[in-house]
Every structure is written in C-alpha cells, then in structure tokens.
A and B are shown apart, each in its own frame.
Chain A
Amino acid sequence: MSEIFDLLLLVLLITTALCVIRTKDLLAAAVIFSTYSLIMCLVWQMRGAPDVALTEAAVGAGVTTVLFLVTISRTVRREK
C-alpha cells in the first residue's frame, strides 16, 4: 500500500517538474513549482525525514513562491 502511494507521489513529482519546464507563463510556472515543493515535502515525510519536510514546506512552498511572485510582478510574466 505504501509503495503504491510512494509511486503515485513520484509520478506526480516528475509530472509537475516537466510542467514547470514546459510552461511559458512564468506565473503559472511559479504556482506549479510550489505544488512540486509540496509533493516533495510529502516524499521527504514518507522517507522518514520530517526535518527536511518542514524545511521544504516552509522554504519551497512558502517563501520562494512569494519571492518568485514579487520578481514576476517586477519584471515580465511571459517567457520569450
């Protein structure tokens, strides 16, 4: 059961990573990247590393996303 959940998480992780690369809209890419961080956080927790999971949730999904959004609001929204 746990293996199925792990497999599902890893498939979702790779899918979101590919989506981030392929998205031309940087705002959407930032939001998808925060989803990637949340899934990564779940993977860390499943692998038994709650410390890293906390860091990933706080830094990856929280602070970096805000910094990305501030940067986008300061520059351009679409990749050329």
Chain B
Amino acid sequence: MKRIAVIAVLVAAFVPLAAAVAQLPTFGEASNPTNTYLVPRYLQKGPEEAGAANVVTDVILNYRGYDTNGEVVVIFTALIAALATLLVRPKQMAATPPGDDAPRSPIVSFVVKAIAPFIAVFTVYLVLHGHLSPGGGFQGGTIFGALIILLSLTLGHKYGLSLLPERSRPWLQAAAVLAFIAVGLLGWALCGAYLAYPSYSQLEWVREGWLIALEIGIGVGGAAIFATVFWTMEAEP
C-alpha cells in the first residue's frame, strides 16, 4: 500500500515536470536565446564591457558576480559543515597523525623541495594573469592547496601546518568571502550598487584592480580551504 502511494506521488510529480521539460527549446539548438544574443554578446563585448580579456573571467566575476559571490559563500559554509561533522579541534589538528613519524625518503624530499617553488610561481601566475589568459583564482588556489597537501605529505604534517599560521588561518579560509564583501561594498560606495564595476573607460585600471583583488581572494581562500579539509580528515579523531 505504502509503495503504491509512493509510486503515485512520484508519477504525479513526474508528469507535470516532463510536460514542462517538453516545452523547453531543444538543447543546443542554434535558435535558442542563449545562442542568439547571450553568447555573442559575451564573446564580442565581454573584454570591453567587463574588463578582462579572458571571457570566462568576465562572466564569472563581472556579469555573474552575484552568482560567484553566493558560490564562494557556499564553499565556505561547506568547510564549516565538514569541520563540524568531523569534530576536529585546532589542538587535534596540530597533533602528528599516525604514520607521520616514519622515516622520510631523502630523494622524495629533495625532488619535492626542488619542484615546489616552480609550482608556487605557476599558481601566482594563474591567479594574477587569470583575467588575461586561461586560469584564474579558483584554479590557482586549488593548485596551491594541492602544493600545501604535497608538502605536508612529504615533508611532514608540522611543516605543512606552519605554511598557514594558526592565528591567521581563519582569515585566510574566509579570504574569498571577505574579498567579495570588500569589493562589493566598494562598488556600492563608488558606483551605487553592490558589486558594481566602474563603467567609465578612464577607470579601467580600477576595474582591473577589483578583478585581481577578487581573484587573489578566491585563490587564497580556495587554497586554505582545501588544505584545511585535508588536515581535518587526516587528524586523529
């Protein structure tokens, strides 16, 4: 009886949804509104209107800045949720995880130390040059987070933790949200709307500065969050 009721509810929900989906324009059709004016507008006017040669950056940080702002808040909330479910305190995170005191291979340590600076330079390039070439804050931040994870795996947990000092760690984790709030309020003060960019051509450098500030915020926040999730999962419960 219960099963029949469940099936009936599911069918009752499915039929109107399927009918609504059938009304939608065909996926990938050339006459769809997204293909007739949205994408050409982004591709033709993006660099001029939004201030970045990389159209992806234009869309993410300028045209759909609110969307990215919300997304950044979601990622930060997810970190808080992960920390809450795993119930790891900062003191436990600082403790050495099991197996970390095993003797380390000098070859691996040497090669990682030799490659790490190049990876770091690459992430800085991705973050700071992300509005002109492929890449951006999130990509650079993720690779930097992976670098921190690599260093704490090969050179020891303590070394990795020392890269993000405990006092500034919460601020670094919240960097993306804070950067968005700062740039958003600046936009409010100067241009009259939250996260508004100056549209005058004389103020192009301001626009570029705000894009770079957002990219740096996303990068630092992403790296700190990925590293923290790793340390939290590794910590002794």
Partner-contacting stretch, out of A5-13, A14-22, A30-38, A49-57: A49-57
B234: A residues at CB distance < 8 A: 70
Asked whether, in the complex, the Cβ of A59 is within 8 Å of the Cβ of B56, the reply is no
**Chain B CB within 8 A of A58 CB:** yes
Whole-angstrom distance between the Cβ of A52 and the nearest chain B Cβ: 8
Asked whether, in the complex, the Cβ of B139 is within 8 Å of the Cβ of A58, the reply is yes
**Chain B CB within 8 A of A76 CB:** no
Contact of A63 among B126, B134, B142 (CB under 8 A): B142
Whole-angstrom distance between the Cβ of B13 and the nearest chain A Cβ: 28
Partner-contacting stretch, out of B25-33, B109-117, B143-151: B143-151
Asked whether, in the complex, the Cβ of B134 is within 8 Å of the Cβ of A66, the reply is no
Q: How many residues of chain B are within 8 Å of chain A by beta carbon?
A: 19
A53: B residues at CB distance < 8 A: 134
Contact of B233 among A51, A59, A74 (CB under 8 A): A74
Asked whether, in the complex, the Cβ of A54 is within 8 Å of the Cβ of B126, the reply is yes
Q: In the complex, A66 Cα to B147 Cα: how many Å? A: 12
Whole-angstrom distance between the Cβ of A56 and the nearest chain B Cβ: 10
**Chain A CB within 8 A of B66 CB:** no
Interface of B is mostly: helix
B51: A residues at CB distance < 8 A: none
Asked whether, in the complex, the Cβ of A50 is within 8 Å of the Cβ of B229, the reply is no
**Chain A CB within 8 A of B226 CB:** yes
Whole-angstrom distance between the Cβ of A61 and the nearest chain B Cβ: 9
Contact of B142 among A50, A59, A70 (CB under 8 A): A59
Asked whether, in the complex, the Cβ of B126 is within 8 Å of the Cβ of A62, the reply is no
Asked whether, in the complex, the Cβ of A66 is within 8 Å of the Cβ of B126, the reply is no
Asked whether, in the complex, the Cβ of A58 is within 8 Å of the Cβ of B146, the reply is yes
Interface of A is mostly: helix
Asked whether, in the complex, the Cβ of B233 is within 8 Å of the Cβ of A63, the reply is no
Q: In the complex, A2 Cα to B205 Cα: how many Å? A: 41
A71 and B136 contact, Cβ closer than 8 Å, known pairs A63-B226, A66-B149 = no
Q: In the complex, A50 Cα to B153 Cα: how many Å? A: 29
A62 and B56 contact, Cβ closer than 8 Å, known pairs A51-B136, A51-B139, A71-B233 = no
Whole-angstrom distance between the Cβ of B145 and the nearest chain A Cβ: 6
Asked whether, in the complex, the Cβ of A62 is within 8 Å of the Cβ of B139, the reply is no
Asked whether, in the complex, the Cβ of B56 is within 8 Å of the Cβ of A51, the reply is yes
Asked whether, in the complex, the Cβ of B229 is within 8 Å of the Cβ of A67, the reply is yes
B210: A residues at CB distance < 8 A: none
**Chain A CB within 8 A of B135 CB:** yes
Asked whether, in the complex, the Cβ of A63 is within 8 Å of the Cβ of B149, the reply is yes
Q: In the complex, A54 Cα to B222 Cα: how many Å? A: 15
Q: In the complex, A62 Cα to B223 Cα: how many Å? A: 13
- Minimum-distance CB pairs A-B, first 5: A50-B134, A58-B142, A54-B139, A62-B146, A51-B56
List the interface of chain A (C-beta within 8 A of B): 50-51, 53-55, 58-59, 62-63, 66-67, 70-71, 74
**What are 11 sample pairs from A and B whose C-beta atoms fall under 8 A apart?**
A51-B54, A51-B139, A54-B126, A54-B135, A62-B143, A63-B230, A66-B149, A66-B230, A70-B230, A70-B233, A74-B233
